[in-house]
Amino acid sequence: MPELPEVETIRRDLQGEVIGRKIKLVEVRNGRTVRRHPSAKQFRAQLEGHVIGAINRAGNFILIVLDDGSTLVVHLGMSGQLHRVKNVKEPKVPHTQVVITFTQGGQIRLVDPNAAGELFVSAAPAEGERALPELADLGFDPLEEIMSWEKFWVLLSSHKTGLKALLMDQEFVAGIGNMYADEILFAAGLRYDRMSNSLSSQEVRRLYRSMVETLAEAVKRRGSSLADEQYRDLFGVIGEYQEQHQAYEREGQACRRCRSVIVRVKAGGRSTFFCEHCQV
């Protein structure tokens, strides 16, 4: 599933490509993708003829603000991709679920093999995006909301749970999933199962810095594409940050910090990768 760095990369790509463009036509090829609407026709009617005014993000949701104040909400699910296509005659690849065509030319296509992602239009104005049920309970955004380590310490201390589980709790911090939780904890030198209220002030500082720096560097390198290459940016290019991974999917390989072996355990039904020597 695309995590915060991948979604932020796509948001920035969209910002440079579609702001100010008028939506001419919307084609829905799979009704499951617009399942919150009573019909594909009703979904299309809320988009066609409108101009895109802004591209925002809340956690892993892309928020496309229209000229009437409504918001097209995009969630890519497990395997969704947005493609920018400049030639509308270009053949559609398999699993193309929705096609948005602009009056000035070109399209945005949602390609989603599992059809687990979705698009829906909310009447909530841009300034009221957090009123959407999916967004109302999201935690802080580690790319957008800079806080003091003391405030972060207070947030950590108010919970009594394992660090990885807390980092992946979308009501605590928005956008972090399995992959980046492992990378953040490796950078901080902390085990996945350390209790969140057990950290020293130095460890809290280290964790906060590692979270911000890891995510920022991942965005700079345009996200992580794993072996299946399910994540690609708006232009179909794979990310580069996977080349910098220190722990995730490196089971049996040497730790790049201490040369011990990276191990994998199951925690909360998910694979967790870490170094038993470096992370305490």
pLDDT at 41 over 80: yes
Write the burial class of residue 200 (CB in 10 Å: 0-12 exposed, 13-18 middle, 19+ buried): exposed
pLDDT of 84:
97
Cα four-point dihedral sign 32, 36, 39, 44 = negative
Are 101 and 107 in contact by the 8 Å Cβ rule? The answer is: yes
pLDDT of 46:
96
Choose, from 3, 6, 8, 183, the residue flagged as catalytic: 3
Name the token pair of 254.
Answer: 């040497």
Reported as a single tens digit per residue, the pLDDT across 121-173 is 998 655 555 667 778 889 999 999 999 999 999 999 999 999 999 999 999 99
Reported as a single tens digit per residue, the pLDDT across 199-255 is 999 999 999 999 999 999 999 999 999 988 899 999 999 999 999 999 999 999 999
Q: In sequence order, what are the residues at sequence separation of 6 or more whose Cβ sits closer than 8 angstroms to the Cβ of residue 265?
A: 192, 271, 272, 274
Rounded Cα distance between 216 and 143, Å, is: 7
Q: Is 3 a catalytic residue?
A: yes
Domains of the chain: 4-136 (3.20.190.10), 149-275 (1.10.8.50)
* H/E run at residue 265: strand 262-267
Classify strands 52-58 and 71-75 as parallel, antiparallel or unpaired. unpaired
* H/E run at residue 278: none
Q: What angle do CA 52, 100, 71 make, to 5 degrees?
A: 40
pLDDT of 173:
97
pLDDT of 218:
98
Closest C-alpha to 122, from 212, 181, 58:
58
Rounded Cα distance between 142 and 208, Å, is: 9
Rounded Cα distance between 79 and 18, Å, is: 22
Reported as a single tens digit per residue, the pLDDT across 174-209 is 999 999 999 999 999 999 999 999 999 999 999 999
pLDDT of 131:
62
pLDDT of 36:
93
Reported as a single tens digit per residue, the pLDDT across 65-114 is 999 999 999 999 999 999 999 999 999 999 999 999 999 989 999 999 99
Cα four-point dihedral sign 247, 251, 256, 259 = positive
Choose, from 2, 6, 8, 142, the residue flagged as catalytic: 2
Angle between helices 4-17 and 201-220 (to 10 degrees): 40
Q: Is 113 a catalytic residue?
A: no
pLDDT of 266:
95
Name the token pair of 236.
Answer: 């179909």
Rounded Cα distance between 170 and 278, Å, is: 27
